[in-house]
Chain A
Amino acid sequence: MNSLEIAKSCSTYSCWHPLFALEDLEEGGVPVYTQLLDQAVLCERLSEGKVSVRLADQQRGPDRQAEDLHSQVQFGFVWACIGPNPQLLFDIPEYHEPDRRNVCTGVFGVEVSAPRAIENFLDMGHFPFVHTGLLGIEPHTEVVDYQVTVSDEPNEIVATECLFFQPQAAVGSVGGVVTEYVYRVPHPFCAILYKSCPFDESRRDVITIFVQPESEERIRAHTMMSIVDPESSDTSIRLFQQMIFGQDKPILENQFPKKLPLDPLDEISIRADRVAVAYRKWLASGGVRYGVIPGAQAT
């Protein structure tokens, strides 16, 4: 099977996938090309926040709407589903809180599979070595044990009690603190991180990665922050996030193989990888075949 056939044959085809930050599209502007699951798609921002997404090679007849793909705007992004029966898109309740700053922090092209990017996002172990002086620093390298639960309703992975010493956890942080993380994986190629908010102890900042699989080994990583921070400018929030992502990019691009192996014997996991192990199992049981190397029992 080629990549397109794999996409069509697995659950990925009925997922919603992010394409653009709505703010990056000009209202009434020309349709913009991008790629999703090995197919060229065209995205157009209409008036009043509406969008239209279609396959680029689709001939357009009189009934334009009937030829459009399923699309919606959520969390500031345009989402599309190529398959006929889209699954429900997850929610991020915090996003809708009125005093939150919701900032799209940019989209970056990376030569890696979508699940490798998600797994890196879930990994605390690399902080001191890759995000040195920001999200971690030697000798504070230990990932203390944390909890992972996989639920059916909603169908997602949640990792809690993730504690890590961070010299500069966020753009608004002053000095090092032990930060507490909660990770949510509500979608095979999307993950949400909740972390202690430097401005309000009772609340958590939200950082998301929504991965658009252009192909099995090439992605566009869309990032968004939904934070309680009355001080930092949108620009400084974006620049901080870009710096973090810029540090991750060469790490992601040097992973081999680019696709994520789902067979538990293919790569050695340690205790700190508890959430990654759960993620790989969850992808396998959810029938995800795109961007992964299936385990022995699945082939």
Chain B
Amino acid sequence: MLKLYDYELSGNCFKIRWFLNILGIEYESVAVEFYPSKEHKSAWFKEINPLGQLPVIDDDDFRLRDAQAILVYIATKYDSSGNWYPSHDASQTGEIAQWLSFADSLTATISSARLATTFFFDFDLEKCQTGGHELLRILDEHLWFQEQQQLEWICRGRHPSLAEIACFPYVALSEEGGISRQEFAAVRRWTDRVKRIPGFIGMPGIFPAGS
């Protein structure tokens, strides 16, 4: 069975749990206590991922780190619909890769701000918040233009893609890092749509859409 090295309060681990749930794939979760014991920096875990980062998967002895890489792997291997990562279409794949990279920038800013406010990590909070706010502004503008073309999702096409899975968690957790989404109406409409994608699950800090 696929094994996920997992931490409940991590947005990057959440995106893997959520995507596996969408596809209906059973997995075994191995809890790694990121806080307060910093188990992801322990000797045993660094043998699994020398970068000391979560998540990591182990699928039949194939080991992979990096949340975005794991999403690409799972979609390519298990999503028979091909909707989440349409690898035959150059423009779509390129766009998705662009937003997967954007998701990494969300981790570097919004996730870091949240680690500073909630878990007292020694980061430059103001810099993380300014950076995160700027990324939300860029996403908001992009989503507004998509809406003008009757497109509901980040990338072209009628179906949500891995870009949604990768970008949503730290957008939805931004307020825990002290970054408000109040002025980003298109982002807020998009997070509501994402929560209504079948198979959505929440995590601490992210509630499902009201019924």
**Given A238-B33, A242-B8, A246-B8; A109-B204 close (CB under 8 Å):** no
Of the residues A24, A236, A250, contact of B175 by C-beta under 8 Å: A250
Q: Once the chains bind, are A249 and B31 in contact (CB under 8 Å)? A: no
How many B residues have CB within 8 A of the partner chain? 19
Which B residues are in CB contact (< 8 Å) with A108?
118-119
**Given A239-B8, A242-B9, A250-B176; A107-B120 close (CB under 8 Å):** yes
Residue B178 at the chain A interface, CB threshold 8 Å: yes
Alpha-carbon separation in the docked complex, A144 to B120 (Å)? 39
Q: Once the chains bind, are B37 and A246 in contact (CB under 8 Å)? A: no
Of the residues B33, B37, B118, B207, contact of A109 by C-beta under 8 Å: B118
B26 to chain A, nearest CB (A): 18
Residue B117 at the chain A interface, CB threshold 8 Å: yes
Alpha-carbon separation in the docked complex, A238 to B119 (Å)? 14
**Given A106-B35, A236-B31, A239-B31; A249-B204 close (CB under 8 Å):** yes
B125 to chain A, nearest CB (A): 11
Which B residues are in CB contact (< 8 Å) with A202?
none
Which B residues are in CB contact (< 8 Å) with A238?
33, 36-37
Most buried by A among B8, B33, B175, B203: B33
**Given A109-B118, A111-B117, A253-B176; A239-B33 close (CB under 8 Å):** yes
**Given A235-B31, A242-B9; A247-B118 close (CB under 8 Å):** no
Q: Once the chains bind, are A235 and B204 in contact (CB under 8 Å)? A: no
Taking CB as reference atom, which chain B residue is nearest A246?
A: B204
Alpha-carbon separation in the docked complex, A253 to B8 (Å)? 20
**Which residues of B are interface residues toward A (Cβ below 8 A)?**
8-9, 31, 33, 35-37, 39, 117-120, 175-176, 178, 203-205, 207
A–B pairs, 11, beta carbons within 8 Å: A106-B35, A106-B36, A109-B119, A109-B120, A111-B178, A220-B120, A235-B37, A243-B9, A246-B9, A247-B205, A250-B205
> Nearest 6 pairs between A and B by C-beta?
A246-B204, A247-B204, A246-B9, A243-B8, A109-B118, A106-B36
